[in-house]
């Protein structure tokens, strides 16, 4: 009988062959989709915490995320059948004028690993595009990334555009190398995430609040 702890361990060390094999085995053995999903999300949570503590680094996080993604693809039909969907959708992108994507990609990866629905708009995203995507996908969260001090004003403009639209319950999380909590407060963002793992925790807190 499959041991879901082994599945979680395979994801944590980025062993995608083992992770997908154990996912299939769990499905074959009629383990519930929710139970399998929780094992996977728990594994990614642990990786996120280790990343925060500098116990694992980007390479380890990438291979764990890939193992998670491939296992999720195996599980997807069962999730659909069971009517299990991500509780909410988050839109993410790098703000206008900024072409950097490493930080944004890591956050998107961690959000997917936490089973948030993620719409990645890419880089150099205008306030109008963020707003349109938030409306289209009925997003509960918008994540804004900026690496440059020169693009921080674009972050402020995007937050202003989202606030002006008055979308019910929408939360804005910001991050990036030059971003601080002070800046987040100043521009009216709901939270500042200093790293990819914190971005998961921040969103969970915001969704509960």
Partner 1 sequence: MTGQERVDRMFHRREQDRVPRHESFWAETIERWQKEGLSGDTRAVLDMLETDFHQLCWMWPAAFPGEEEIVSQDEETKVVRDAQGKLVRYWKDKSGTPEHLGFECDSRQKWEKVFKPALLDSGLQVDPEATKRNLAIGRKRGRWCFMAGVESFEETRSLMGDEITMIAMAEDPEWVRDVSKTFTDVMLRNLDACMGMGIAPDGLWIYGDMAFNHATMCSPKMYRELIWPDHKRLADWAHVHNMRFIFHTDGDVNGVMDLYVQAGFDCLQPLEAKAGMDIRRLCPKFGKDLAFFGNIDVMVMVSNDRGRIEQEIRSKFEAGKATRGYIYHSDHSVPPQVSWETYRFIVDCVKRYGRYS
Q: Kindly list the residues in this chain that would bind partner 1 in the complex (CB under 8 A).
A: 14, 54, 56-60, 62-63, 66, 97-103, 105, 123-124, 147-150, 177-178, 180, 194-195
User: Which residue lies nearer to partner 1 by CB, 86 or 194?
Assistant: 194
> What's the min distance (Å) between Cβ of 119 and partner 1?
18
> What's the min distance (Å) between Cβ of 195 and partner 1?
5
User: Which residue lies nearer to partner 1 by CB, 140 or 175?
Assistant: 175
> What's the min distance (Å) between Cβ of 150 and partner 1?
6
Between CA 64 and CA 206 the distance in angstroms is 25
Between CA 107 and CA 51 the distance in angstroms is 12
User: Which residue lies nearer to partner 1 by CB, 8 or 152?
Assistant: 152
> What's the min distance (Å) between Cβ of 166 and partner 1?
30
User: Which residue lies nearer to partner 1 by CB, 88 or 183?
Assistant: 183
User: Which residue lies nearer to partner 1 by CB, 56 or 174?
Assistant: 56
> What's the min distance (Å) between Cβ of 139 and partner 1?
23
């Amino acid at each position: 009988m499959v041991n879901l702890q082994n599945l979680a361990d395979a994801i944590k060390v980025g062993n995608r062959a083992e992770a997908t094999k154990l996912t299939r085995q769990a499905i074959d053995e009629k383990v519930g989709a929710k139970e399998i999903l929780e094992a996977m999300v728990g594994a990614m949570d642990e990786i996120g915490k280790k990343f925060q503590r500098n116990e694992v680094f980007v390479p380890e996080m990438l291979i764990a995320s890939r193992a998670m993604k491939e296992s999720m693809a195996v599980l997807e039909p069962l999730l659909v059948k069971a009517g299990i969907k991500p509780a909410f959708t988050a839109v993410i992108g790098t703000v206008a004028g900024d072409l950097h994507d490493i930080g944004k990609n890591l956050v998107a990866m961690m959000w997917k690993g936490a089973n948030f629905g993620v719409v990645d708009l890419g880089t150099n995203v205008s306030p109008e595009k963020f707003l349109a995507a938030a409306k289209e996908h009925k997003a509960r969260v918008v994540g804004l990334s900026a690496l440059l001090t020169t693009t921080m004003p674009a972050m402020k403009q995007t937050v202003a555009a989202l606030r002006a639209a008055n979308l019910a319950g929408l939360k804005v999380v910001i991050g990036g190398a030059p971003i601080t909590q002070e800046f987040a407060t100043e521009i009216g963002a709901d939270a500042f995430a200093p790293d990819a793992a914190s971005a998961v925790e921040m969103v969970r807190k915001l969704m509960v609040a």
